[in-house]
Amino acid sequence: MPEVLSGISFVLALLFYGAASALFFLDVARSRARLPSVSDLPGLGAAAHHHDPAARPSAAAALPSRHAPLLLGLGALGHATYVTFASFVARVCPVHSVHFMLSVASLLAIAVYLVARRRFRIDALGLLIGPLGLAFLLGTFFLGKPHPEPKLSPLFIAAHVMANLLGIALFLLAGAAAALYLVQDKRLKKKRHVERLGSLPPLDTLDRAVHRFLIAGFPLLTLGIVTGTYWAHQLEMGHPEEVMRVVFGYATWLLIALVLLLRAAAGWRGRRAAYGTIAGLACAAAVLVIYLVRPAAGLGG
């Protein structure tokens, strides 16, 4: 009986988390473009910015779908049920398991978010909370199984690898556009003529390019993180290189998610978004370096 209830609660939590994460992402992707802040447009005064209603973040754009928080709460309920039953089935004490501890931490984060989201206007934070809950749920799936290395189909592994490769490719484009933005911004501040170093796209064009590449690559990176969580044993018994690869993978996802989140919720654009994008790309590069240094570590994470 516990095995059946554990399986049902796992599937329900998986579906609810997935639906909630998709809705939160769609809300961020649909958020309307806003004017850059004063720090991003040289020559504009602070007074003009404060009096321009278009420069202020749209409250409606930052609000998620009304169904997303409900689905997130249902996913957390299924997650908590699964962790409870799975700990008995696998005979694993939650205190002695990294993944169970992460699951409990994500459940607490979801509870705080659902209580405080309207009062503190942090609805868009669901873009982070939903996928993290989903990833930590999957991280507990293979605990207590007889084989430490899960047997995965070639199709599953191919989907994981392709999602990561395509996501990183799009982030490379976003990083290149962000670097060009910073170069163009510096040239405009120094009032250099474009003809001296060749023409570059306008700042607004480069900013939109960064955002669109991130929007396209974020779901792929999320898929790579979620599928990579199936190599759950790496956090429990992995080598330092494997653990570092997992840490940098999550750091990449977190930084990109924060850039998208702050753009939707706080109107972040321009230099701040460019620096955040480049930082995320640096973490992704660290993952690739670890792969090259220790290729035998596997493809998970």
Cβ atoms 280, 256 nearer than 8 A:
yes
Work out the average pLDDT over 73-100: 77
- Residue with the bigger pLDDT between 6 and 80: it is 80
Between the alpha carbon of residue 99 and those of residues 82, 103, 232, 276, 278, the distances in Å are: 13, 6, 8, 28, 30
Q: What is the pLDDT of residues 161-210, one digit of tens each?
A: 888 888 888 988 998 889 999 988 888 887 655 444 456 778 888 888 88
Tokens 């420069």 belong to residue:
55
pTM above 0.85, yes or no: no
Residue 52 has pLDDT above 50, yes or no: no
DSSP 176-244: HHHHHHHHHHHHHHTT--HHHH-----HHHHHHHHHHHHHHHHHHHHHHHHHHTT-THHHHH--HHHHH
Residue 69 token pair: 């928080």
Model confidence band, residue 225 (pLDDT cutoffs 50, 70, 90): confident
How does DSSP classify residue 58? P
Cβ atoms 245, 297 nearer than 8 A:
yes
DSSP 152-175: --HHHHHHHHHHHHHHHHHHHHHH
Q: What is the pLDDT of residues 15-47, one digit of tens each?
A: 999 999 999 898 888 764 443 443 444 443 333
Residue 242 has pLDDT above 60, yes or no: yes
